[in-house]
Amino acid sequence: MPEFDLGLLLKQFLNGASFVLFLILIAMGLSIIFGMMGVINMAHGEFFMLGAYVLLVVQDAGGSFWLGLFLAPIVVAIFGWAVERLVLRRLYGRYILATVLATWGFGLILRQVIQLIFSATPREIVGPISGSLHFLGITYPAYRLFLMGMSLLVVLGVTILFNKTRFGVWARATIQDQETASALGVNTSRMFQLTFALGSALAGIAGALMSPLISVTPGMGIDFIVRSFFVVIVGGLGTIVGVLWGGVVVGEIESISNIFYPPTVSQAVLLGVVIVFMLLRPRGIVGKMG
């Protein structure tokens, strides 16, 4: 065990906090789509990947990181919207596995199409900020701090959207009672379109933001989707507060046990805790019991 060292403690705190915020950023879209629509979007990882590839295309064409970051959520939102219109719309009201299968299949297709176009070779995305910041006696990578800030912005933006806007009111009305909302003039079909596009856009922006820190390949979403599901399940299905709780629990368990054990062991620890958690609180931390 490392001896007491304030700088190290702060650094490990930031390591844990950044991991938590990355997880929240990645899981947010998944949770919103589930919470609003009851759809488990198995293509979430592929939308995440698509966001990174939009950035790659912009970068290859000579565009800046910021342009790519701006375009990624837009392009992925259009994709998500198209999937909702063409496929998912026809499956609402059926057994939940129908949408699981449809989105899973769509994810597979998307991954292979990207591999056909860009090949399976891992690609590089150059981050816009290099170097480190010095503060409180430690140095920490600037881009990681930027990512943490962006994640907080996304959480803030989504919270405002659902609590302070007309879209939010309609959205909450649709969740509570679709028929009544519809009778009162809310276009619920449109709400579903917008929600799926929003969830997709969040996946896209997460992929673009994470891409300078990871290996960009057609299969990159797979490594992230598993933890996203952990976050959503542990936190409680379909609420923003749930995502925050899930991110904190999943991220901190893995980060803290990573300090003391090799990564292989700490991932096993995480899985064990998630399983026990599921047994004790199947609806997650903020989920209503019963």
Which residues are at the interface with another protein (CB under 8 A)? 2, 8, 11-12, 15, 18-19, 22, 112, 115, 119-124, 126-127, 130, 132, 139, 141, 143-144, 212-220, 222-224, 226, 254-255, 258-259, 262-264, 267
> CB of 94: closest distance to another protein in angstroms?
19
Nearer to another protein, 121 or 176 (CB): 121
Q: With contact defined as beta carbons under 8 Å apart, do 24 and 187 qualify? A: no
Helices (H), 38-90: 44-60, 65-86
Q: With contact defined as beta carbons under 8 Å apart, do 258 and 266 qualify? A: yes
> CB of 262: closest distance to another protein in angstroms?
5
Nearer to another protein, 122 or 282 (CB): 122
Nearer to another protein, 130 or 163 (CB): 130
CA distance 12 to 19: 11
Nearer to another protein, 88 or 111 (CB): 111
Q: With contact defined as beta carbons under 8 Å apart, do 72 and 204 qualify? A: yes
- For 32, 99, 154, 176, 234, the CA distances from 252, given in Å and listed in that order, are 22, 32, 20, 33, 13
> CB of 41: closest distance to another protein in angstroms?
20
Nearer to another protein, 85 or 123 (CB): 123
CA gyration radius, the chain: 19
> CB of 66: closest distance to another protein in angstroms?
19
